[in-house]
Chains A and B, each alone.
Chain A
Amino acid sequence: MNKTKPPISLTPAAHQRTLDGGLVAIQDLVRSCMQCGTCTASCPNAFAMDLAPRQVWRLLLYGLTQEVLQSRTFWLCSACYTCTLRCPRGLPLTAAMAALKRLAAAEGDAVNRKKALFYQEFMRNVEQNGRIQEMGFMCSYFLAMHNPMLPLEYTPLGLKLLGKGKLHLGGGAQRGRLGPLFAKVRSMEERP
């Protein structure tokens, strides 16, 4: 964003919209943010983000949901918890990022839903195998993305990983072991 762009209009309507959506809960997490930028400065992935974390909080508080959901910032959060640890206001920033991921997966546009696929496939793989099995996960992710070109894009990376022995074909020793855990979480989430 730069000065040549037209000003972002903060109409009462924009603010109102934030009051009813699921966004209020996320706003509540970051309300006492004082824009010190500690989160941004300490984020290891900030270099790759299009919006800095503190910009995300600011847009959220403005009620500019769309701008936030269009960014890839929260998808890039690797949940290292550095920002949460360092925030002088003690805000649960990693939780806010996670909440944004959930919101985007549930209510976001097609792009966001597609981005969520990675997480969904990852978790499904973990649930099935009791741990991550890279090969299986890779296949199911590519299938879910419905993009035949995607595997080609990842080929160089895949070969590299294979060379280093990082791609396991996987055994079934831990299969289903985490099933009860997932079930429990599901039942807790269903409870009001």
Chain B
Amino acid sequence: MKKEYGALVVGAGIGGIRAALDLAETGLKVALIDARPSLGGILAQLDHQFPTDHCGMCKMLPLTQRDQSSQYCLRKGIFHKNIDILLHTELSGLEGDPGKFTATLRRRSTFVDPTRCVSCGLCAEVCPARAPSEFNAGLSQRTAVYLPVPHNIPNHYVVDLDNCQRCWRCFEACPTKAIDFKFEQRKDFNIIVVTPDQQLSQDLPLWFTNENFPLHPAATGEEALGLLAGGLDCGLMLLDLDLPQAEAERTLRRALELRPNLAIVLLVSKNKDRDKVGDKDGGKDEAVAALIKQGAREALPKPLKQAQAVPWLDKLFMRLVSDETLSIEVGAVILAAGFECFNPADNPAGSADLLLYGGHPGVLTSLEFERLASPTGPSQGLLTRPGDGRPLRRIAWLQCVGSRDVKLKADFCSSFCCMISIKQALLAKRRTGGQAEATIFYMDMRTNGRDYQRYRDDAENQAGVRFIPARPHTILPGPDGGVLVQYFDYAGELREETFDALVLAVGARPPKSMERLALAAGIEVNESGFCATRYLAPNRTSRLGVFAAGAFGEPADIRGSLIQAGAAAMGASRMIRVYHGPRDETPEAEPKYADVSRQAPRVLVALCTSCPTLERNVNSALLRQRMEVLPGVVTVVDVPRACTREGWDILRHEAEASAPNRVLIGACLPYVHVPRLRELGEVLELNPALMDVVDIHTASFAGRDTSFAGHAACLASCSTKPGGGPGACDCGETARTNEMGSLLAMAAAKLLGADPSSLPQATPVSPQALVVGGGLAGMTAAMGIADQGFKVVLVEEAEHLGGLALNLRTTLEGNDPVRFMEDLVEQVEKNPNIRVLKDSRVVLSRGKAGRFVTVVATGEGVAHTLHHGATILATGGREAKVYEYGNRVHKCVLTQLELEQRLAAGTVDASSLSGVAMIQCWRSRGESRNYCSRVCCQGALKNILMLKKRNPGLPVYVFYRDIMTTGFSERFYTEARRSGAIFIRYTPDDRPRVEFEDDKPVITALDPVLGGQIEIRPDLLVLSSGVEPNDASEIADLFGVGLTEDGFFQEAESKWRPVDFLKHGVFACGLGLGPATMRESLLQAKAAAQRAVRILSEKQLSCGNVVAEIRQTLCSRCGRCIPVCPYGARSLDLDKDRIVVDELLCQGCGSCMAACPNSATVLRGFHDEQVMAVIDAALAGQPRAEARPQTAG
């Protein structure tokens, strides 16, 4: 039977993980696949993210129902009970309709059995092959059998067949027989060679004698088909095209009829002239293409040579018998295949030579720099130049490499490189203790997020990063192995500087497999090769039921990718609900656990015994002895191979017999056992929190690299003894046994001290959402929730729905926002699940995630009391009021929005104008509102293109600081330039000056290109006034959420939780959260809706096992614990005069414990006594180093 999933997520990068988590948390089963052998996409390679310069990926993990997923570093791995991960797997076909797709997945074998591989690394030690390491961006080498990402969990070696030399040494070295090259199956793999070439049919069997393949030469197609019809179980057919074409074709067709899965490879002779001289290759190529279309696998040039043909065929055999094709049923598909970084060396027009890339070790891409700065990178995070290893002290960044370059077919902005370069500049400063000099050469610094401009200002003013608006184009090898850069500075002077390294801020390109993926998924791509989406439906692809997440539809930074992923998840979730009807709502039966709090601890220790490395390296009898004497231990059982079903059954049997109330398992790969603990808990009626799995496996071979404690001392004492020397004693084994014993004793001590009392009561959820604000974002969010079957109350302050978006007349992409808004308002008002309260305000709100009680007062003075489980704040923003530059005094001064409306209404006649000037960033990005308003550049371009369309000769002058057309809106900037608008850059210190003569503006400004002043007398002066948030201080107070200094909502984490508040259950979207275009508001609203649905779809919310509690008798109400809590879970309850902890918000980090002076706050599972006991156990079991030779000898 086919496996059924709610959704298929293609791409396990950050966008895919977000989308998968968003769906899994609402109870949908998700299949998460990735073509790479590892999780995390490009982010696995990046250690630091702005603006915090930390990672923080784990902040995406579920905050409630935490025990459904793993709760540790998300960079290492993800475990959620609703997510199945399939790596090294590609989507190869998608049939059917939304709600019931059949997806065909092709899983490429890694030749390593993950259930056997213990990551000991012996295979890589013996591998003779070398290839550039993908993980280190080619800066280091890896073997052909390798770990794709060194820090993943689970982490298994994979074989890169393309670089494999077929020496089979890894196969021989593997202690667990995890590597499988299918040697046994070779003798059953029949190969038919259909060739008229006598020589070849004689040679081939000889060549392959060592490989054991049975070869069946056939001179004609008839003969081959006869073999097949006779029942030969054939795996591969080599079909020589020297046969007459008709015969070759017939053989192929007929063979595929007989054996639909037969792999057929064409042999095409390249040297011999088979046809007429004129079209010898053309005709043949066509024939080959036609046959491949009919089902041939590939074509191989003839004549074959033994040295090439044998490895090729052997590898093909391994692929054929090892690769799998899976078929699953899914309701919806999310594509999150991400992007590739532009590689200047890949493209002949990529200017690798001009940029010196590849020819000079000091010229790096930003990805390579990121690896250099990473502690897991090739230089352990020391910033040294590859090649000569000199420390990097003067570093320059060059922006827009591969972006904004029409010659490289990149008429788009990659959106993330500017911020990455600033981050890297700051990182370089920090890594070198401020010694490094950082210079960024840029065209436009696109700091277009809410807080990005401040980040840049801090980098410039406090950290001293130099920003130079120039595009250096002469890059030469400099003295001392440096890089000489020539550029024209802002004043037009030619300058020359030498840097230790030049970092190319490379842009985004569609993934390499895009063409295949688009074909398999049946979606369209846009002219830049990314997935085509529509401006006002940005989470959808061209195929219904298939959604785009992450940076797949448009290059985006992490924040943008996550918002896009959330929106895609919402689309998929809605689609599944619409086509599948209401989900099966019967909740899983909550397991019942016996109360063991009044019982004396009875610990069962189970030790897995039969791993080969374990036997060899550990004295298991000694270990067993040590375990038996530990306090509270009632039985120690040996379990052969705990990882297998049989082993586990033995364990269960033993456990049932001895009825323990604590279970400790010593085995490998703890994460494998986590789902089984739940199962065991049900059998024993024992809470899985009272069970633990200890990894005794890693320790069993860790001694090999002599990293274990005391080894050096032992070696020293051994070598001084007569006849001694390294390896003369078996102290390695003893040390490992000791280490393992300590690990187990520590875990046992922890279990002994575990609190067996039951968890706090779960909170029942009110299945209704409240949305505050009826603008574009609020209405979209309400629709997103209502469409999934939940009730929504939409509260709007004004007397009609629509908000700021009603003022728009056109969009850059040529959509009709008026119509869109009208439709949206109508849909919201007619939706039976949405109750709209206009002319209303929230006056009171209490409660927490899952259970809010809010009072809404309407204009008529009626108060409604609402019970809701989630809240979305979309209070929106407005056009900022500007009174300078003659606005609102002179008729000829307009804002961009006013001009847009007048152009639409026809009250501004473009043909009668003789000149228009625009000033961008007027007040935005100044002292009072130091953020980019996001919409003004787009608004200006929209108006320019409209003016130029109506009057092509009209002079338009635009004074700007940085044009912020990220993503595909860059195209319109190019178009505006091409239409003849003139863009003049100004700096905040030297703004354009405006005077008025005869009621007409006279603008004087510095033209930095000419280096002189210019004077313009236009008919119209248009100001980009920017946006500011509506006053949300009252709402923020009511719901207990924060505001930024500009009055926007302060989200929990700008990257990882972009639409969440620190207060769980409250979400934000739209202009209230930060300046955004219509597209971004829509995406945020959909992402926020999905976050709300995640809470609403639970019947009740329960906290995790590790939460903070307060011993009220010890608490002095000093309040120190309140500000240190990073999750805002603690507050002072004034009525009861005590500190209270919100168990749902508490994530068990323990900051409060550290801050509390009285030890009044404690963490379940980490009591002081317990932790002390663990430390005691660790130290007790560790024999002193000098005592070791005696025990060993």
Q: Residues of A at under 8 Å CB distance from B? A: 1-3, 5-12, 15-16, 19, 27, 31-38, 40-42, 46-47, 52, 54-55, 58-59, 61-63, 86-90
- For the complex, what is the distance from the CA of A90 to the CA of B492, rounded to whole Å? 22
Q: Which residue of A lies closest to B1006 (CB)?
A: A3
CB pair A86 B354 closer than 8 Å: yes
CB pair A90 B471 closer than 8 Å: no
By a CB distance below 8 angstroms, the chain A residues around B472 are 41
Q: Which of B957-994 contact A (CB under 8 A)?
A: 957, 974, 977-980, 982-983, 985
Most interface-central of B351, B957, B983, B1007 (chain A CB within 10 A):
B1007
Interface residues on B, range: 35 or more
Contact of B473 among A7, A42, A52 (CB under 8 A): A42
- For the complex, what is the distance from the CA of A46 to the CA of B488, rounded to whole Å? 11
By a CB distance below 8 angstroms, the chain A residues around B354 are 86
CB pair A52 B443 closer than 8 Å: no
CB pair A12 B980 closer than 8 Å: no
Q: Which residue of B lies closest to A15 (CB)?
A: B955
The digit string for B377-402, where 1 denotes a CB below 8 A from any CB of A, is 00000000000000000000000100
CB pair A35 B1010 closer than 8 Å: no
CB-CB under 8 A for A11 and B1017, given A3-B1012, A31-B977, A88-B407: yes
- For the complex, what is the distance from the CA of A179 to the CA of B474, rounded to whole Å? 40
Contact of A5 among B486, B914, B979, B1012 (CB under 8 A): B1012
Contact of A62 among B470, B982, B983 (CB under 8 A): B982
By a CB distance below 8 angstroms, the chain A residues around B1014 are 7-10, 62
Q: Which residue of A lies closest to B975 (CB)?
A: A32
CB pair A2 B1011 closer than 8 Å: yes
- For the complex, what is the distance from the CA of A7 to the CA of B1002, rounded to whole Å? 12
CB-CB under 8 A for A36 and B471, given A58-B1007, A88-B400: yes
By a CB distance below 8 angstroms, the chain A residues around B1118 are none
- For the complex, what is the distance from the CA of A37 to the CA of B488, rounded to whole Å? 7
A sample of 30 cross-chain residue pairs with beta-carbon separation below 8 angstroms, ordered by A number, consists of A1-B1012, A5-B1013, A7-B1012, A8-B1007, A8-B1010, A8-B1014, A9-B1017, A10-B957, A12-B955, A31-B980, A32-B977, A32-B978, A33-B977, A35-B1009, A36-B470, A36-B471, A37-B470, A41-B471, A41-B473, A41-B487, A42-B474, A55-B1011, A58-B982, A58-B1010, A61-B982, A62-B982, A63-B955, A88-B406, A88-B471, A90-B406
- For the complex, what is the distance from the CA of A19 to the CA of B977, rounded to whole Å? 17
CB pair B1010 A47 closer than 8 Å: no
* B350 interfacial by beta-carbon distance below 8 Å: no
* B405 interfacial by beta-carbon distance below 8 Å: yes
Known: A41-B486, A62-B1014. 15 other contacts (CB 8 A): A7-B1012, A8-B1010, A10-B955, A12-B914, A31-B977, A31-B978, A32-B977, A32-B978, A35-B1009, A55-B1011, A62-B982, A87-B407, A89-B406, A89-B974, A90-B406
- For the complex, what is the distance from the CA of A27 to the CA of B400, rounded to whole Å? 25
* B712 interfacial by beta-carbon distance below 8 Å: no
By a CB distance below 8 angstroms, the chain B residues around A3 are 1006, 1012-1013
CB pair A59 B915 closer than 8 Å: no
- For the complex, what is the distance from the CA of A15 to the CA of B1014, rounded to whole Å? 14
By a CB distance below 8 angstroms, the chain A residues around B494 are 41, 46-47
* B71 interfacial by beta-carbon distance below 8 Å: no
Q: Which residue of A lies closest to B917 (CB)?
A: A10
Q: Which of B399-442 contact A (CB under 8 A)?
A: 400, 404-407
By a CB distance below 8 angstroms, the chain B residues around A31 are 977-980
CB-CB under 8 A for A54 and B473, given A15-B915, A19-B953, A86-B354: no
CB pair B1009 A55 closer than 8 Å: yes
By a CB distance below 8 angstroms, the chain A residues around B1011 are 1-2, 55
By a CB distance below 8 angstroms, the chain B residues around A32 are 974, 977-978
Q: Tell me if B's interface is mostly helix, strand, loop or mixed.
A: mixed
Smallest CB separation, B301 vs chain A (Å): 36
By a CB distance below 8 angstroms, the chain A residues around B400 are 88
- For the complex, what is the distance from the CA of A62 to the CA of B494, rounded to whole Å? 24
Contact of B405 among A5, A10, A61, A88 (CB under 8 A): A88
By a CB distance below 8 angstroms, the chain A residues around B223 are none
CB-CB under 8 A for A10 and B471, given A31-B978, A58-B1010, A90-B407: no
* B1015 interfacial by beta-carbon distance below 8 Å: yes
CB pair B486 A52 closer than 8 Å: no
* B258 interfacial by beta-carbon distance below 8 Å: no
CB pair B487 A88 closer than 8 Å: no
Smallest CB separation, B1157 vs chain A (Å): 60
CB pair A41 B488 closer than 8 Å: yes
* B1004 interfacial by beta-carbon distance below 8 Å: yes
Contact of A59 among B470, B471, B1010, B1013 (CB under 8 A): B1010
Smallest CB separation, B296 vs chain A (Å): 41
Smallest CB separation, B330 vs chain A (Å): 43
By a CB distance below 8 angstroms, the chain B residues around A47 are 494
CB pair A1 B1010 closer than 8 Å: yes
Contact of B1012 among A8, A11, A36 (CB under 8 A): A8
Q: Which residue of B lies closest to A6 (CB)?
A: B1013
Smallest CB separation, A48 vs chain B (Å): 12
CB pair A10 B1015 closer than 8 Å: yes
- For the complex, what is the distance from the CA of A13 to the CA of B1007, rounded to whole Å? 19
By a CB distance below 8 angstroms, the chain B residues around A6 are 1013
* B1016 interfacial by beta-carbon distance below 8 Å: yes
CB pair B1004 A7 closer than 8 Å: yes
Smallest CB separation, A92 vs chain B (Å): 12
Q: Which residue of A lies closest to B952 (CB)?
A: A19
Contact of B977 among A34, A52, A90 (CB under 8 A): A34
The digit string for B1006-1042, where 1 denotes a CB below 8 A from any CB of A, is 1101111111110000000000000000000000000
By a CB distance below 8 angstroms, the chain B residues around A86 are 351, 354, 473
CB pair B488 A40 closer than 8 Å: yes
CB pair B473 A38 closer than 8 Å: yes
- 10 nearest A-B residue pairs (beta carbon): A7-B1013, A1-B1012, A7-B1015, A32-B978, A12-B914, A36-B471, A15-B955, A32-B977, A58-B1009, A88-B405
